[in-house]
Copies of this chain bind each other. A is one copy, B any other.
């Protein structure tokens, strides 16, 4: 056996890769062993083959992420200034949304595009959010930022271009704050689970997976939102699964139906973009909702989620 010891914020594990024909009872009988499972998947600790109950993350103040409640995370693509943040936060609080998204480090294809406010902006973002009782989700792009950002982040987001940035995943394994891991632009479901395994085996169990559209031949939408991934992920892993319809379709007028579709597909949370004046946003304005659209979407999502819960309880899905 090749054994990897894993110590997370919640427990100690030993991952043993080796022959199949082992009598698990002998291992279970060893002193100090609480439980032993055989996991046939290539990923291990994130697999539902051993942890059957879904993982629910607790962010404090009654904010939970995972099965049993719908998480809504909204906000602008880029954090731009205090006025913008204040406006979004008031909108979220008024609509009972507890989590805000917003980037201060923006990965941009061209070096000449706006790259975000940086750490300075993050401090303001975090401070203001705390004042409004909100939790924040924001993207980390490289290893050195993990420590720099740590004090000002509730949930670290790993963007679609970094899903296989293994050094970054390793580094996020070393912190005790949750990580929202987006699927790669052309990443398979299997690869997403392997990337989550990096974080978990690095020591951090608190991971959320996020489907955000994949790259295909279709050009009528920015990406192809792959809602197949939702029930498949929910079957394969105990981790929460979110959907980002804003990047998934990239067209403001169609974000709402895709968000609701994501919920009926089984998503535990929806991440979408909203800003005071989408037309003037520094990035991604064409997929950003204004507050009026956002408020209606929040209401529609809650009612859709309520129906899904009913259908689940009555064993209709």
Q: What is the CA–CA distance of A186 and B43 in the complex, to the nearest angstrom?
A: 23
- In the complex this chain forms, how many copies of it are found? 4
Alpha-carbon gap, A227 to B169, bound state (A): 31
Question: In the complex, A230→B2 CA distance in Å?
Answer: 41
Q: Are B228 and A248 in contact (CB under 8 A)?
A: yes
**In the complex, chain A residues 179-201 whose Cβ is within 8 Å of any chain B Cβ:** 185-186, 188-191, 194-195, 197-198, 201
Residues of B near A55 (CB, < 8 A) are none
Residues in B whose Cβ lies below 8 Å from that of A220: 188-190, 228-229, 232
Are A256 and B217 within 8 A (Cβ)? Answer: no
Q: Are B232 and A217 in contact (CB under 8 A)?
A: no
In this assembly, does A155 line the interface, its C-beta being within 8 Å of a C-beta of chain B? Answer: no
Is residue A218 contacting chain B, with contact meaning CB distance below 8 A? yes
Task: Identify 6 new A-B residue pairs, CB closer than 8 A, beyond the known A228-B254, A260-B264, A261-B264.
Answer: A186-B186, A217-B217, A225-B227, A257-B317, A261-B261, A297-B317
A residues engaging B (CB < 8 A)?
Answer: 2, 4, 15, 17, 42-44, 107-112, 141-144, 161-162, 164-170, 185-186, 188-191, 194-195, 197-198, 201-202, 213-221, 224-232, 235, 248-249, 251, 253-254, 256-258, 260-266, 296-297, 299-300, 303-304, 307-308, 310-311, 315-317
